[in-house]
Amino acid sequence: MNTQSGAMSSSSPGPKEIPAAPPPLTLTPTRPMYWSIRRELWENRSIYIAPLIIAGVVLIGFLIATIGRAIVIVDSAEKAAVLAERTHFAAGLMVAAAFVVGAFYCLDALHGERRDRSILFWKSLPVSDLTTVLSKASIPLVILPAITFVIVVATQLIMLLLSSAALMLNGLSAATPTQPPLVQQPLILLYSLVVIALWHAPIYGWLLLVSSWARRTVFLWAVLPLVAVSILEKVAFNTSYFPSMIGRRLAGFRTEAFALGAHGTIDSVSQLTPGNFLSTPGLWIGLAFAAAFLAAAVRMRRYREPI
């Protein structure tokens, strides 16, 4: 019996092995940022639709006004100058439109999710407030300039083809010497967009901070304090340093980042002055204020309740 029981115990199967649990899913630091930016693009289609609409309007205006005027003009040099002038105006208009889109986006970026109470859902996800705010700040600072660059280059290329066709139909050379060389135009545009984004960073940071704090009328809360300080300074000290500072923050990058021509034009990469721009104290002071505004917006989002 002992022999049989020993044989049976030796032949009985041992305990079943439990397979090891799969390792927990870990997110790399870049994945939440990537999907947060994708979410902003999904929810805010005006980020790329508005520049496309402006580009379409510019092309229609170019067809009606510029080519029509160029056909009427007899002198070839004047005809080429007309075509080049419209190209510069189109680029400036689309860059200005990108700034307006970025400003209104920032005003609604953190306020909108509190207004529709979607902040409760987004806070339930494993995405920190810092990642959320930085993803929203990257829209006007990185994404919009990149979209604007692609749209402006494509629009200028179409305008160049149309103007060349108009000149050739009139028996004139398609070359337009008044324009920067074709290779230099994208470089000037890319440099300009980077300069503008860095210079306007404190503006976007301030708008995001107001968006994270205000319960309603975000635009008024963003503008009225600036107006109030300007009026108070004028009444109390009869000076206007604060409004001058605001105006310089809006357009002061031109004198710091470019060596402008006689008529304020930029015709060559030799007019770009990145060294002077990077050594400007106003740039780094503005970036410091932008960082402070974004840090305050992160803290505000952490404790702010839905409206």
Place 157 in a pLDDT band, splitting at 50, 70 and 90. confident
Q: In whole numbers, what is the pLDDT of the chain averaged over residues?
A: 81
Q: 23-60 burial by CB neighbour count: b if 16+ within 10 A, else e? A: eeeeeeeeebbeebbeebeeebeebbebbeebbeebee
Higher pLDDT, 219 or 124: 219
Q: Is 181 exposed, middle or buried (0-12, 13-18, 19+ CB in 10 A)?
A: exposed
Q: Is 159 exposed, middle or buried (0-12, 13-18, 19+ CB in 10 A)?
A: buried
- Say how far residue 75 (Cα) sits from the centre of its chain: 41
Higher pLDDT, 22 or 130: 130
Q: Which residues pair with 258 in a beta bridge?
A: 272
Q: What is the pLDDT of residues 116-152, one digit of tens each?
A: 888 888 888 888 889 999 999 999 999 999 999 999 9
How far apart CA 127 and CA 283 sit, in angstroms, is 31
How far apart CA 47 and CA 34 sit, in angstroms, is 16
Q: Please check the confidence at residue 249 and state whether its pLDDT lies above 70.
A: yes
Residue 8 confidence (pLDDT): 46
List all residues 6 or more positions away from 207 whose beta carbon is below 8 Å from its beta carbon.
103, 106, 107, 222
Residue 1 confidence (pLDDT): 46
Q: What is the pLDDT of residues 117-127, one digit of tens each?
A: 888 888 888 88
DSSP structure string for 62-95:
IIIIIIHHHHH---HHHHHHHHHHHHHHHHHHHH
Residue 177 confidence (pLDDT): 44
Instruction: Please state the domain extents for the chain.
Output: 45-303
Q: What are the residue ranges of helices labelled H in 170-200?
A: 184-199
Place 46 in a pLDDT band, splitting at 50, 70 and 90. confident
Place 17 in a pLDDT band, splitting at 50, 70 and 90. low
Q: Decide: helix, strand or coil at residue 176.
A: coil
List all residues 6 or more positions away from 254 whose beta carbon is below 8 Å from its beta carbon.
260, 264
CB 85 within 8 A of CB 179: no
Higher pLDDT, 157 or 29: 157
List all residues 6 or more positions away from 277 whose beta carbon is below 8 Å from its beta carbon.
195, 253, 256, 257, 283
Q: Please check the confidence at residue 278 and state whether its pLDDT lies above 90.
A: yes
Number of neighbouring beta carbons within 10 Å of residue 91: 21
Q: Token pair 């210079």 is at which residue?
A: 199
152-156 average pLDDT score: 88
From first CA to last CA, the distance across the chain in angstroms is 81
How far apart CA 222 and CA 90 sit, in angstroms, is 29
Place 59 in a pLDDT band, splitting at 50, 70 and 90. confident
Place 225 in a pLDDT band, splitting at 50, 70 and 90. very high
Q: Decide: helix, strand or coil at residue 272.
A: strand
Strands (E), the chain: none
Q: Please check the confidence at residue 289 and state whether its pLDDT lies above 80.
A: yes
CB 107 within 8 A of CB 222: yes
Number of neighbouring beta carbons within 10 Å of residue 152: 28
Residue 16 confidence (pLDDT): 52
To the question of pTM greater than 0.85 for the whole model, the response is no
Residue 178 confidence (pLDDT): 44
Of 125, 284, 277, 292, nearest in space to 204 by CA: 292
How far apart CA 81 and CA 87 sit, in angstroms, is 10
Angle subtended by helix axes 184-199 and 281-303, to nearest 10:
60
19-23 average pLDDT score: 51
